[in-house]
């Protein structure tokens, strides 16, 4: 069965995310390795790295992914912002290498009104530049996240993700993180068995199911095709439980990591309840 978990805070130290995910019964984890609202971050110390790795080992090495900063826009047509984004993403890859994190999830970026083709070409160029800066010893796999299609955002169509991956010089290092809220907002339905089958077939044609390494499990506050990114608790949104039942019981993803990005308070009770609900859907069709 899939590894179910959540994005958890690293407040007080990166290693504390493991205590938080354990407290909600999670089996997979996503984190920010740095303050995602700032361009600059202090380098990781040897002590931080060792403590993170030690706590991770105590979890039997559960699947862990990093999420890159929301400030990064690899599709930007502004030279200064693009250069800053390349530097920041290369640094994120380096941090993940030091911590041993195998995947980093990143939003492809936005074209800023210059058009999808121009934006995608810039994403490929800047993504390749960041991976080159990170160095040939870097082993982190970059996962382009499916997006909702708000504004000039790139990656809401599976064909866009497939194009960017296939045109990269580092295609072998790239994959996809599928966000259920985002694809639903982008117009891909998963609410019935037939709709789910059509959506996954479309992804397979455009990208390839073998490129799916990680999932974000979020219901949607907004309607199918709304192009509005608003996460909701599992079963309380417009997707509903049946869509998640389809995904969780798909044998193609039986050993994949899937993390919540749903609203929550400091006590994390929402994560615990959402995970309980997801597990109740396993093998129950």
Structure tokens at 24: 């909600």
Q: Which residues of 201-223 are buried (b: 16+ CB within 10 A; e: fewer)?
A: eebeebbeeebbbbbbbbbbbbe
For 121-152, the pLDDT digits (tens) are: 999 999 999 999 999 999 999 999 999 999 99
Choice among 107, 122, 141, 245 that is catalytic: 107
How would residue 183 be classed by pLDDT, with cut points 50, 70 and 90?
A: very high
Is 285 part of a structural domain of the chain?
Answer: no
pLDDT beyond 50 at 2: yes
Q: Which residues of 28-57 are buried (b: 16+ CB within 10 A; e: fewer)?
A: bbbbbbbeeeeeebeebeeebbeebbebbe
How would residue 283 be classed by pLDDT, with cut points 50, 70 and 90?
A: confident
- DSSP H helical ranges for the chain: 16-23, 46-57, 79-99, 116-134, 158-166, 180-185, 193-206, 241-248, 269-280
**How far from chain centre, in Å, is Cα 64?**
11
User: Is 270 assigned a catalytic role?
Assistant: no
pLDDT beyond 50 at 200: yes
Is 122 part of a structural domain of the chain?
Answer: yes
Is 153 part of a structural domain of the chain?
Answer: yes
* Euclidean distance between CA atoms 226 and 246, whole angstroms: 22
Give the three-state DSSP class for 83. Answer: helix
Is 236 part of a structural domain of the chain?
Answer: yes
User: Is 188 assigned a catalytic role?
Assistant: no
Choice among 216, 233, 238, 245 that is catalytic: 216
Res 75: pLDDT: 98
Tokens 């195998």 sit on residue: 102
Share of the chain above pLDDT 90, in %: 99
Tokens 């130290």 sit on residue: 13
Choice among 91, 128, 145, 160 that is catalytic: 145
Choice among 48, 114, 261, 270 that is catalytic: 261
User: Is 145 assigned a catalytic role?
Assistant: yes
- 28-44 average pLDDT score: 96
User: Is 111 assigned a catalytic role?
Assistant: no
pLDDT beyond 50 at 235: yes
Is 95 part of a structural domain of the chain?
Answer: yes
Question: Counting Cβ atoms within 10 Å, is residue 229 exposed (0-12), middle (13-18) or buried (19+)?
Answer: buried
Choice among 229, 233, 238, 245 that is catalytic: 229
Mean pLDDT, rounded, of the chain: 98
Structurally, the chain folds into a number of domains equal to: 1
CB 59 within 8 A of CB 112: no
Phi then psi for residue 4, to 5 deg, are: -105, 135
pLDDT beyond 90 at 225: yes
Nearest to 122, CA basis, from 174, 75, 72: 75
Choice among 182, 191, 238, 245 that is catalytic: 182
How would residue 285 be classed by pLDDT, with cut points 50, 70 and 90?
A: very low
Structure tokens at 9: 């805070």
For 44-83, the pLDDT digits (tens) are: 999 999 999 999 999 999 999 999 999 999 999 999 999 9
Is 127 part of a structural domain of the chain?
Answer: yes
Tokens 């979020």 sit on residue: 218
- 193-219 average pLDDT score: 99
**pTM greater than 0.75:** yes
* Euclidean distance between CA atoms 111 and 139, whole angstroms: 28
The parent domain of residue 266 ranges over 3-280
User: Is 219 assigned a catalytic role?
Assistant: no
Q: At what angle do helices 116-134 and 79-99 cross, to 10 degrees?
A: 40
Nearest to 263, CA basis, from 241, 240, 239, 232: 232
* Euclidean distance between CA atoms 39 and 37, whole angstroms: 7
Domain at 88, CATH number: 3.20.20.150
Residues 6+ apart with CB under 8 A from 203: 158, 178, 209, 212
User: Is 283 assigned a catalytic role?
Assistant: no
Res 214: pLDDT: 99
User: Is 216 assigned a catalytic role?
Assistant: yes
Q: Which of 35-39, 66-70, 88-92, 98-102 has the lowest mean pLDDT?
A: 35-39
């Amino acid at each position: 069965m899939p590894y179910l978990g959540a994005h958890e805070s690293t407040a007080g130290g990166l290693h504390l995310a493991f205590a938080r995910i354990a407290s909600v019964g999670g089996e997979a984890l996503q984190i920010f390795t740095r303050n995602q609202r700032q361009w600059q971050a202090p380098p990781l110390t040897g002590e931080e790295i060792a403590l993170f790795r030690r706590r991770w080992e105590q979890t039997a090495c559960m699947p862990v992914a990093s999420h890159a900063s929301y400030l990064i826009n690899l599709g930007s047509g502004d030279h200064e912002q693009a250069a800053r984004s390349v530097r920041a993403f290369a640094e994120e890859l380096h941090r993940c290498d030091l911590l041993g994190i195998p995947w980093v999830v990143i939003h492809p970026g936005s074209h800023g009104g210059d058009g999808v083709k121009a934006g995608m070409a810039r994403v490929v160029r800047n993504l390749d530049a960041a991976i080159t800066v990170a160095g040939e010893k870097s082993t982190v796999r970059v996962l382009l996240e499916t997006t909702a299609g708000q504004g000039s955002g790139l990656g809401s169509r599976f064909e866009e993700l497939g194009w960017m991956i296939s045109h990269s010089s580092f295609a072998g290092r790239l994959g996809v993180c599928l966000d259920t809220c985002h694809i639903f907002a982008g117009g891909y339905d998963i609410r019935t068995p037939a709709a789910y089958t059509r959506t996954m077939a479309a992804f397979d044609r455009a990208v390839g199911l073998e490129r799916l390494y990680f999932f974000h499990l979020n219901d949607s506050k907004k309607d199918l095709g709304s192009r509005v990114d608003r996460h909701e608790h599992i079963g309380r949104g417009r997707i509903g439980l049946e869509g998640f039942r389809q995904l969780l019981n798909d044998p193609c993803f039986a050993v994949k990591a899937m993390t919540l990005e749903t609203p929550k308070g400091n006590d994390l009770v929402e994560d615990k309840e959402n995970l309980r609900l997801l597990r109740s859907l396993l093998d129950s069709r």
